[in-house]
Amino acid sequence: MAGKNYSAEDIKILEGLDAVRLRPGMYIGSTGVKGLHHILWEIVDNAIDEASNGFATRIEVILHKDGSASVEDNGRGIPTDIHPKTGVSGVEVVFTQLHAGGKFDEHNYSFSGGLHGVGASVTNALSEWLKVEVYRGTVFKMSFHSYYDEKAEKYMCGVPCEHLTDTKQKTDKTGTYICFKPDAEVFDTVNFNFETVSKRLKELAFLNKGLEINLIDERVGEDKKPIAVNYKFDGGLHDFAMYLNEGKTPLYENPIGYKTEKDGILIEFAIQHTSDFTESLFSFVNNIPTPEGGFHETGFRTGLTKSLNDIARSTGALKDKDANLLGEDFREGLTAILSIKMKNVQFEGQTKTKLGNAEARQPVETATVEGIAQLFKDPKLKLTFDEIVKKAQSAARVRIAARQAKEVARAKNSIDNLTLVGKLAACTGKKPELNELFIVEGDSAGGTAKQARIRQTQAILPLRGKPLNVEKKRIDQVLANEEIRTIISALGAGYGGDFTMDDLKYHKVIILSDADQDGMHIRCILLTFFFRYMRELINNGNVYIGMPPLYKVYKKDIVEYAYDDEELQKKIEIVGKGYQIQRYKGLGEMSAEQLWETTMDPARRNLIRVNIEDAAEAEQMVTALMGDRVEARKEFLAQNANFNKVDTFIDRVNI
């Protein structure tokens, strides 16, 4: 097996850590919740790389009481010998040098997610301290810390406390243990979210068949035991598809899948259709999620369409005179997981969200055609493919009808454009990147918002009643809904496969609803629509939730606003004795001046930016909350009653 003689000489150095401290966003995206978890993922990904390449079978992650986190694997262990160019151990090189690691040489790692070689060193640079133990016959130890050097008048980050020490303590274990504490001077919060960590580790266990991953959360009261979960899936992607479809009605009982190697690329996929109307494709490259897709997704979709059309013709479902079905027909209601592992990966951007390797497209397409053809030969799967083709033909009929309805709507719209956007109070600004669209609950609140806005950059779209829940409807039913058509028309960027950011008229889409159950339901409905038909809008960070205050605390000329009960007590202390409280039941109770200064003024407002940290988990959340399965919804709400504050999906910002 490649990489058996793994030594410090294998670690290639492609510069210190000052740059990381100065501009952390360049390396981890942000210093918010997402960035905090990013430095944990960098260490986890290194352990996963050991497992993916056949060197580790178990990983343990612990969230400690003191705010630190540790990751241990039973892989080979970071090289402990002296690096020939630096004169220090391989461990010290890995944690103090950017662009240093064993993954630039293919004989050590066939496939790797940590291709930039900055992971361990960036985590070290952004931590108060970091400790590492390596198990290679004996136990090796080393630690690092960050501090302000008054003489040098600069912050020293990730500095070794000592060189690597061989403790001479014998051990039968192999692998690496890393424990670090994120620096509160860097991050907005240093509190790891258990659900966020748990969901990502569960996903990694699905992607790495048979790998055991343990997660322990020690941050509980002294009278309670730590929370511990264990993930191990011997079915791999098959189990992943079953998990994603738990809240849906499958078209056929078991997912079908295929695994092969083409041109040095390991390719694996699993698919299962459901009675739903939207496509859910989740792709991964070397275990890294690629929510923005890339050439591997293009190859998969092309191969799937070609092979299923071939099957439709071979079974007589499509006659010689019939046109081929479209890819979108075959993908209606499809849940698919595509996982590839390849060398020399080129992700677009440090956040690794899109695969840029054009050479991946053809092997994936070929593997998909080959895999579907081979599965079709199994007599047990004949009914499965019959169901897939029947659903695609039904989708095609709806697509054709929807296209005809769309053409009628266009003709009508050309006569009277106000049919679609008559309720919209557009802004006068011509630069989409500066423009904001407020989607406001109710005509009353919409009227107030129109009075409060800045006409140059803020547009107002009032909603009359609750919009359609698109999770339960076909595309023709979605387009028949006036509220949905109005939103599509106002944004001007299309929908579904035709959606394009280039035509987007407003780069901030802000949902503004009451802070009650009805308001929350409207937010869920709108977010479901964006998730299903304009997902790129969420992926690009263009969707926000406006946060109107719940309370006004005032006395004479002193006025303070509170956005929750906890903040209310602080505001009462600020205003002092003799205060009065006004509880807002809805946006309509506010004057235009109050709505402006609390919710619409860019200098003072609070917005929640909606993001998808984990697309697969977001898929399950939307299905559970907005689908037809009542039991699934009850179970989800019982486990996530406070879902509006789950860090996985939302990130509060002042913007």
Q: What is the pLDDT of residue 329?
A: 95
Which DSSP state fits 470?
G
Q: For tokens 């690691």, name the residue.
A: 101
Q: What is the pLDDT of residue 632?
A: 57
Which residue is catalytic, options 441, 471, 613, 651? 441
Residue 184: burial class (beta carbons within 10 Å; 0-12, 13-18, 19+): exposed
Residue 260: burial class (beta carbons within 10 Å; 0-12, 13-18, 19+): middle
Return the closest-CA partner of residue 236 out of 287, 298, 188. 287
Which residue is catalytic, options 15, 81, 378, 518? 518
Q: What is the pLDDT of residue 264?
A: 92
User: Domain 417-548+591-653, CATH 2.102.10.10 — does that match?
Assistant: no
Instruction: Specify the amino acid at residue 157.
Output: C
Q: What is the pLDDT of residue 80?
A: 93
What average pLDDT does range 590-619 have in this prediction? 84
Residue 102 has pLDDT above 80, yes or no: no
Give 256's pLDDT tier (boundaries 50, 70, 90).
very high
Task: Measure Cα distances from 99 to 84, 286, 289, 560 in Å.
Answer: 17, 19, 22, 49
Instruction: Label the pairing between strands 543-546 and 280-285.
Output: unpaired
Sign of the alpha-carbon torsion through 643, 645, 649, 655: positive
Q: For tokens 């060398």, name the residue.
A: 343
pLDDT, averaged across the chain = 85
Strand locations in 263-328, DSSP E?
265-273, 280-285, 288-289
Helix (H) or strand (E) holding 63: strand 58-63
Residue 429 has pLDDT above 80, yes or no: yes
Considering the chain, what percentage of its residues have pLDDT values greater than 90?
Answer: 55
Catalytic site residue 386? Answer: no
Top-level CATH class of 8-231? Answer: alpha beta
Q: What is the pLDDT of residue 104?
A: 41
Answer for the pair 8, 83: CB distance below 8 angstroms, yes or no.
yes
Return the closest-CA partner of residue 55 out of 8, 6, 105. 6
Q: What is the pLDDT of residue 406?
A: 63
Catalytic site residue 10? Answer: no
Which residue is catalytic, options 162, 359, 482, 516? 516
CA dist 23 and 608 (Å) reads 24
Catalytic site residue 239? Answer: no
Answer for the pair 51, 73: CB distance below 8 angstroms, yes or no.
yes
CATH number of 237-399: 3.30.230.10
Residue 611 has pLDDT above 60, yes or no: yes
Q: Mind listing the pLDDT tens digit for each residue in 38-96?
A: 999 999 999 998 998 889 999 999 999 999 999 999 999 999 999 888 889 999 999 98
Report residue 585 as tokens: 């039941």
Q: Mind listing the pLDDT tens digit for each residue in 352-399?
A: 678 999 999 999 999 999 999 999 999 999 999 999 999 999 999 988
CA distance between the termini of the chain: 52
Q: Mind listing the pLDDT tens digit for each residue in 393-428?
A: 999 998 888 777 666 555 444 433 434 455 899 999
DSSP, collapsed to helix, strand or coil, labels residue 165 as strand
Q: Mind listing the pLDDT tens digit for each residue in 477-522?
A: 888 888 888 899 899 998 888 899 999 999 999 999 887 778 888 8
Q: What is the pLDDT of residue 439?
A: 95
Helix (H) or strand (E) holding 434: none
Largest CA distance in the chain: 85
Range from 24-38, 249-263, 269-283 carrying the lowest mean pLDDT = 24-38
Answer for the pair 128, 146: CB distance below 8 angstroms, yes or no.
yes
Q: What is the pLDDT of residue 117?
A: 42
Report residue 598 as tokens: 């609390």
Q: Mind listing the pLDDT tens digit for each residue in 126-166?
A: 999 999 999 999 999 999 999 888 887 778 889 999 999 99
Most confident option among 139-148, 466-475, 557-566: 139-148
What average pLDDT does range 178-197 have in this prediction? 94
Q: What is the edge-to-edge ordering of all strands in the sheet holding 69-73?
A: 154-160, 127-149, 165-182, 69-73, 58-63, 212-217, 227-231
Backbone angles phi, psi at 47, to 5 degrees: -70, -40
Range from 33-47, 353-367, 451-465, 611-625 carrying the lowest mean pLDDT = 611-625
Q: What is the pLDDT of residue 633?
A: 54
- Residue 144: strand pairing partners: 130, 160
Q: Mind listing the pLDDT tens digit for each residue in 105-121?
A: 455 555 555 444 457 89
- Residue 125: strand pairing partners: none
**DSSP readout, 345-397?**
--BSTTTT-SB--GGGHHHHHHHHHHHHHHHHT-GGGHHHHHHHHHHHHHHHH
Residue 636 has pLDDT above 60, yes or no: no
Which residue is catalytic, options 42, 133, 279, 514? 514
Report the residue count for the chain.
Answer: 655
Strand locations in 114-201, DSSP E?
127-149, 154-160, 165-182
Domain ranges of the chain: 8-231, 237-399, 417-548+591-653, 551-583
Q: Which has more confidence, 187 or 352?
A: 187
Q: What is the pLDDT of residue 497?
A: 80
Catalytic site residue 329? Answer: no
CA dist 340 and 111 (Å) reads 10
Q: What is the pLDDT of residue 624?
A: 66
